[in-house]
Structure 1
Amino acid sequence: MSLVTALIILAIILLIVLSAFFNGSETSLTAASRARMHSLEQEGNPRAALVNRLLQSPEKMIGAILIGNTLVDVLASALASGLAVVLVGEVGVVYATAIMTILIVIFAAVLPKTYALAYSDRVALLVAPIMRVVIIILNPITITIEFVVRFFLKLTPGKLDDEANILAAHEEIRGTIELQKIEGSVARHDADMLGGVLDLRDLQVADIMVHRTKMETIDADDPPQKVVDELLRSQYTRVPLWKDEPENIVGVLHSKDLFSALGRSGWDVSQLDIMSFAVEPWFVPDTTPLKDQLNQFLKRKAQMALVVDEYGEVQGLITLEDILEEIVGQIADEHDTHEAAIRVQADGTVNVDGAVAVRDLNRQMNWSLPDEEATTVAGLVIHEAQTIPEPGQVFTFYGYRFEILRKTRNKITALRISPAPVVAARTTKQSAG
């Protein structure tokens, strides 16, 4: 083997190594965790700061990588073809093409990309200083490429792109949380809380409010002694007051304000004027996003609001605790007396109250029943069945079997749910008899 041949082979090997470097750099820098790099930069890591700066100008980085990778691949193939022609004649071009294709695919593409994807953060920190030098060298060419890219990007609507980027960011975070939960890096409860924060922007007040049929209210015209007795029996510290009809809310009675008034009156209940220290009710539309409502609670330093529909009719109430429960799960204290609404049975079935929210059932049982068309489990069954079922009827949809246990008037009050042996494509209904 002559010296020239050896030098050409050495040059080809070096070019393949450079191609592997460019491919690995592209994969690692684009797959690197932005959150991890930001955290390392805050800790004073200069390489992480360099990675973040490179990612701030992706056009320059990708342009430099593509130019460098194209140059080394073309040059390596040209040298290999020339060497093959000298050694075996014109047929050597075929041999060189086949051999270089195999070498480039295996050693310059698949292997470096696979490694860079598996250790993206580590590789990104390693290649960042070298890529910075490459970008500076190839900057004149990349400026031209960047100009062309920006020209075509201007043809797309910017606002829609921004909205898509925001949605993509939320979905990326949600996907990361789910992946970490599956891999065991994040506990299920922690993952649910993080997901609950993201869900606030997609939920409305009407989705989690306490319905008016379940509200505890007090007639403001009742004698003061009766009002005091009802408030003391209640498990809540704030209770709405109504006049003439239950839907006509005229105030909110706070137990602390009641005791303060009692102290001022010498603890003479008959001297109390309930409406004099009742708080003015705060009404909010039922279409208010939960994220906005949470901000309003914090801004107004309030903890309860009455929910009204488009006609101004009271539909229910919402509290700060209700929103927090969407994030952290059920919050209970020593005064809560309600029974568990979701009861897992020994045979694996689940007895559920009809008023249970689909979201709460999904969270506790780790299921994925849809909640777009109905808020409660009973509402989901009625929506899918397109009828008000009778006790004993069985429905199967979304891979679960729903058996109606009890019904009061037109309201389903109890169901038994279990995974169906066969997932039904459409809702099916069977008679209990």
Structure 2
Amino acid sequence: MPPLDASAWLTAGGIVLLLMMSAFFSGSETALTATSRARMHKLETDGDRAAAAVNRLIRDRERLIGAILLGNNLVNILASALATSLFIRLLGEGAVAIATIVMTTLVVIFAEVAPKTLAIARSDGFAMLVAPVMRWIVFVFAPVTRVVQLIVRGALRLVGVDVDKDSAVLSASEELRGAIDLHHVEGRVDREARDLIRGALDLDEIRIEEIMIHRKSIEMLDVTRPADEVIAAALKSRHTRLPLYRGDPDNIIGVLHAKDLLRALWDAEGKAEAIDLAAIARKPYFAPETTTLQEQLDAFKRKREHFALVVDEYGAIMGLVTLEDILEEIVGEIEDEYDSPVQGVRPQADGSVTVDGDVTIRDLNRAMDWSLPDEEAVTVAGLVIHEAQSIPDVGQTFSFHGMRFRILRKRRNQITAINILPIEGATPAPDYKDI
């Protein structure tokens, strides 16, 4: 092998420099695509100029990736050409294969794997470090990358792919749900925080009929009965707001508030018969059953109400929903000194769970950290009926969604108790809050 002259040393130095540039492009690509836009936005809000440069770059990811790939391919091809020339000069015409092997090894290790590994481990810091330089590279390559973008988009349209339409497949809320679920699986977000965030995101997708107290469970007062009986029933109730009806439960004439009743009793010096309950009742507020929780929450704030009667399309009373019901979808069960916990979910020693039929799927999922679907049914009993396509009998067993459902009790056509066992195995049930 002939000794290396100045020209050969210069070529070797050029190859090393090009490999370093390739490493820069590879690391920049990984860091700028892996960095969190949310964290960069927060840092930019706090006044970090490097984060602001990163945000400007990743706003147009297609243009950024085009410039990086263009630069990376240019330096890799040039480095390979120089290496081939150098090896042919030193070893003769048969050195092409050797040059290919050497350059492939160097590019893979030092220009691809090493910088990308570093960029993944320190994506935010790496991205802010390279952003000022990449900004100028993107600007210089802009005319070429624009032509490349037009050619690529045109070619994709020929095969029926419209990049513009498919660029935002997931909504922001879906991205947040996916991110929070991923962080929970990885152990970086605990279950309570996950449920809190997911509950807030779900307000726009849940209708009040899914969380309302059904009409059969509503405490109502008939104003046609003697005033002392109605007042006694109101004082015994654990609720502060009670619907008043006249004759027919669908004929709601008002809502009796405990404070208004106590004030009226004080003014009447305790004489119940002197109180006109209809006169002190507040005007009832009705809400359609199709109203979403977010819409109802906004309406409660706007109208300064805490209580709404839910009606169907024919105006019939379906149930009621309160501000507390909506808040509980976000923060979980809120109990005060007058609340009595509903014994609706009871884990068994064999790893199964006995559930009352009227427990909602959302509450069961939150209590047991399960993921049963709630798109087609609101309650657990409704889910079983939907999947079975019939009203099952006591003792029947069904398997779906990774669970085994056994009907324990039934009242007429209503399923009142179900035993649920994860099919994967009878592992002990996790800690839960009785709902």
Q: Scaled by the length of structure 2, what TM-score is found? A: 0.89
Matched with 1:258 is 261
Tell me how far 1:279 sits from its aligned partner.
1.7
| CA offset digits 1:320-367 (Å, max 9, x no partner) | 111111111111111012432112233322221110001111111111
Matched with 1:16 is 19
Distance 1:37 1:417 in 2: 45
Matched with 2:433 is none
- SS of equivalent to 2:239: coil
- 1:247 alignment partner AA: D
Distance 2:393 2:315 in 1: 33
Matched with 1:414 is 417
**Map of 1:369-384 to 2, 5 A cutoff?**
369-384=372-387
Matched, 1:353 2:356: yes
Distance 1:81 1:153 in 2: 35
- SS of equivalent to 1:239: strand
Matched with 1:234 is 237
Matched with 2:302 is 299
Change (3 A) 1:295 1:48: same
- Equivalent residue for 1:63, pick from 60, 63, 66: 66
* 8 Å CA contact 1:12, 1:80 repeated in 2: yes
Tell me how far 1:39 sits from its aligned partner.
2.0
Structure 2 segments unaligned to the other structure (5+ residues): 427-435
Tell me how far 1:245 sits from its aligned partner.
1.5
Change (3 A) 1:261 1:147: farther
Change (3 A) 1:187 1:241: same
Distance 1:188 1:338 in 2: 21
Change (3 A) 1:414 1:397: same
Matched with 2:278 is 275
**Map of 1:186-335 to 2, 5 A cutoff?**
186-335=189-338
- Equivalent residue for 2:404, pick from 379, 389, 401: 401
Identity rate of aligned residues, in percent?
A: 51
Change (3 A) 1:216 1:416: same
Tell me how far 1:255 sits from its aligned partner.
0.9
Matched with 2:175 is 172
* 8 Å CA contact 2:153, 2:163 repeated in 1: no
- 2:56 alignment partner AA: R
- SS of equivalent to 1:200: helix
Tell me how far 1:143 sits from its aligned partner.
5.3
Distance 2:414 2:60 in 1: 59
Tell me how far 1:239 sits from its aligned partner.
1.1
**Map of 1:67-216 to 2, 5 A cutoff?**
67-142=70-145, 144-145=147-148, 156=162, 164=168, 167-216=170-219
Tell me how far 1:410 sits from its aligned partner.
1.3
Distance 2:291 2:154 in 1: 40
Q: How many residues align?
A: 420
Change (3 A) 1:157 1:207: farther
* 8 Å CA contact 2:287, 2:309 repeated in 1: yes
Matched with 2:40 is 37
- 2:224 alignment partner AA: D
- Equivalent residue for 2:49, pick from 46, 56, 60: 46
* 8 Å CA contact 2:361, 2:374 repeated in 1: yes
Tell me how far 1:151 sits from its aligned partner.
8.2
* 8 Å CA contact 1:404, 1:414 repeated in 2: yes
CA RMSD, Structure 1 to Structure 2 (Å): 2.5
Matched with 1:4 is 7
Structure 1 segments unaligned to the other structure (5+ residues): 424-433
- 1:238 alignment partner AA: R
* 8 Å CA contact 2:364, 2:370 repeated in 1: yes
